[in-house]
Each structure stands twice: as structure tokens, then as C-alpha cells.
Amino acid sequence: MLQEWLEYLPRPGWNTPITLALTSATVGSVVTLAWITARDGRERRRHQRDTSLELALSLESYARTCRTMMHKAAWAASEPVGTMSREASKGVSIPAFAYPDKLRWDVLSRRVISELREYPATAHAAREYVEAFREFGEPVDLCGQVEYECAKAAMAALALARTTRRRYGAATWKPGAKDSAMERELSDFVANAEEKRKESLERRTGRTVGGRSDVQPFKHPLGA
């Protein structure tokens, strides 16, 4: 009986108003969803560019601050040995670093966030090392250490800023005349400083070996 009644019911077709309405609604929903997705993608990319630009600018500004501190350390090191040199070296240290507040970290990938978050910790560790060195080292040696650590921190900041700009399509950094040769100057300074450190270590090692050449080894073990 049920089958007989079903035979009298009209069968739906593509030309019926209901089918046309459902098809139109489905197409409209897909188009709307695609438009929203594209809009959200554009907004996210814009936020990524803006955020990466702010991060890069803060890193580049820190690099310039480090270079200024290098000049200050060189000036303090040139002071005569004594009270004046100790007073001049009191203001010499690794500059503190922090990213700007209210950044859109959520638009960046986790790997990028991890790399960026690691840099302030690295700068802080270098700052703590220099402060510990201050307690036991001479002012001239402290100033040299500050110059070296500032140069390394500035180079790392510039490299991270360049990578951050490139990842999210931010504008390329165009330094002015004052900063045009900064990366090369920092690289040359670090290379020269490491070469001097290596030579100094070799001289100390040579003196240590030479000074102990007349020391005779124990003929019997301790406690024998």
C-alpha cells in the first residue's frame, strides 16, 4: 500500500523550485566561506608583516645601542689606570633588551616565536657574565669583554632581524650612511678580537709549559 502511495508523489528534479533554492544556497555558502577565508588570510598576512617589522626594528635598534656601548667601552679603556678608569667603567655593560609590548605573537609560527624568544635570554646571559667578570677583572679587561660581547650581540640581532623580515615579507632594512657598514665593522671586530684571544691563550699556555719545564714528576705515588 505504501509503495502505491509513493508512486503518486512527484519525484524531485533539478528544475523544481526547492532543488534550485537548495543549490543556490549551497553555492552561496561556499562562495561566502571562500571569501571569508581569503579575507582572514589577508588579515593574518598583514598582521604577520606588521609584527615582524616591529620585531626587526627593535632588534636593529638594539644592535645600534650595542655599537654605541662598544664606543663607550673603548673610551673607558683609554682612561689612565686607577680610580678614573674604574669610575669610567662603571657605566659599561651589555645593554638590556626586551621586545616591545602588545605584539601579535599569535600570528607567528611556534618555531619563529621560539627563535625570537631565545634572543633576549641570550643577551641577558651575556649581561650576567659581564657583571660577574666585573667583580674580579680589571677595568681594561672588563671594557674589552664588553666590546666583544656587544659586537656578538649586535651581529646576532641583525641576523635575526634580517631573517624575520624575510620570512613574512616585511620591507628590507635600508640602513642610513651611519649604519651602512655596521655589519662588516662588527664582523671584522669579532674576527680580530677572537684572533687576539687565541694568540693570548697560546702565549699563556707557552709560558705555563715553559715555567714548569724544570718540575720533576713524583717518583712515588702519594701515600706510598
7 lies in some domain:
no
Task: Give the HSE-up count for residue 67: Cα atoms under 13 Å, Cβ half-sphere.
Answer: 21
Domain count, the chain: 1
User: CA 142, CA 137: separation in Å to the nearest integer?
Assistant: 6
In a domain, 224, yes or no: no
128 with 163: CB under 8 angstroms? no
Q: Are 67 and 190 in contact (CB under 8 A)?
A: no
Round to whole Å and give the CA distance between 202 and 8.
Answer: 104
**Which residues, 6+ apart, have CB-to-CB distance to 52 below 8 Å?**
108, 164, 165, 167, 168, 170
Taking the C-alpha atoms of residue 179 and residue 53, their distance in angstroms, rounded to an integer, is: 18
Structural domain includes residue 186: yes
Give the global pTM. 0.71
Per the domain annotation, does 12 fall within a domain? no
Closest to 164 (Cα-Cα) out of 64, 52, 89: 52
Q: Is residue 149 part of a domain?
A: yes
Give CA separation, 146 vs 76, 149, 161, in Å: 11, 5, 22
Q: Evaluate whether residue 25 is within a structural domain.
A: no
Question: Domain of 68?
Answer: 41-94+101-197
Instruction: With respect to residue 114, please indicate whether it lies within any of the assigned structural domains.
Output: yes
Residue 209 lies in a domain: no
Number of Cβ atoms within 10 Å of the Cβ of 161:
24
Closest CA to 175 of 64, 100, 80: 64
54 vs 63, 70, 102, CA distance in Å? 14, 25, 11
Each residue's pLDDT, cut to its tens digit, for the chain (224 residues) gives: 545 544 544 555 555 666 655 566 565 665 565 555 555 456 767 788 889 899 999 999 999 999 999 999 988 888 776 665 677 778 889 999 999 988 889 888 899 899 999 999 999 999 998 888 887 778 888 888 999 999 999 999 999 999 999 888 877 777 766 666 888 888 888 888 888 878 777 777 765 545 544 444 434 433 43
Q: In the structure grid, which three cell numbers stand for residue 170, read together?
A: 616585511
Which residues make Cβ contacts (< 8 Å) with residue 64, sequence separation at least 6?
Answer: 154, 179, 182
